[in-house]
Amino acid sequence: MAVRLGFRNVHFSPRGGGLGWAMPLGVGIGLATGKPAVCFVGDGGSLFSIHALWTAAKYAIPSIFVCFVNNEYRLLKDLWCNAMGTTIETTRFVGMDFTDPDVDLQRIAAGFGARTETIESLHAVDDVLSRALAHPGPSFLIIDREP
């Protein structure tokens, strides 16, 4: 379920609720307004519609994506553990990890024509965002994080 928050121009969907449409929505907002929306997306969620980047690159649609990379479907693991009363550490998951080989989202996003950068620290955010705002097409900004 999409939730509309009480302040302007924010479209919020809880973890899992935006899979498939978050990235195209970000591109659509950029197309409609000429200004980039900032779309926050998980690595697994991004794979449902990452080709939206190509449309944004092709038509120089301003758009910014911040992608949290943990190489897993973490929410599904958390839900499983909550339901079963188990812990992440003691559970053997099937089909929840994008590892061995790791999915290389940086190369995938670049392959669809996006500018890519990794956000290494909080201090870097200002500069990274300035560069993204100056770019006429899509920027795909990666935050590597521990699960």
Write out the residues near Mg ion by the rule CB under 5 A: 42-44, 70
Residue 144 phi/psi, 5-degree rounding, is: -80, 130
Report, in Å, the least distance between residue 35 CB and ligand TPP: 25
Nearer to Mg ion, 33 or 91 (CB): 91
In the list Mg ion, ligand TPP, none, the entry touching 76 (Cβ below 5 to 8 angstroms by class) is ligand TPP
Report, in Å, the least distance between residue 121 CB and ligand TPP: 20
b/e burial code for range 68-81 (CB count within 10 A of at least 16 → b): bbbbbbbeebeeeb
Q: Closest-CB residue for ligand TPP? A: 42
In the list ligand TPP, Mg ion, none, the entry touching 75 (Cβ below 5 to 8 angstroms by class) is ligand TPP
Nearer to Mg ion, 135 or 144 (CB): 144
* Torsion, CA 84, CA 86, CA 91, CA 95, rounded to 10: 40
* Cα–Cα dist 92/110, whole Å: 33
Nearer to Mg ion, 31 or 75 (CB): 75
**How do strand 63-69 and strand 138-144 relate by DSSP bridges?**
parallel
Cβ proximity of 103 and 140 under 8 Å:
no
> Which residue, chain included where needed, has tokens 């080709």?
51
Nearer to ligand TPP, 41 or 62 (CB): 41
Report, in Å, the least distance between residue 91 CB and ligand TPP: 15
* Cα–Cα dist 9/47, whole Å: 25
Residues that bind ligand TPP (CB under 6 A): 15-16, 19-20, 42-45, 68, 70, 72-76
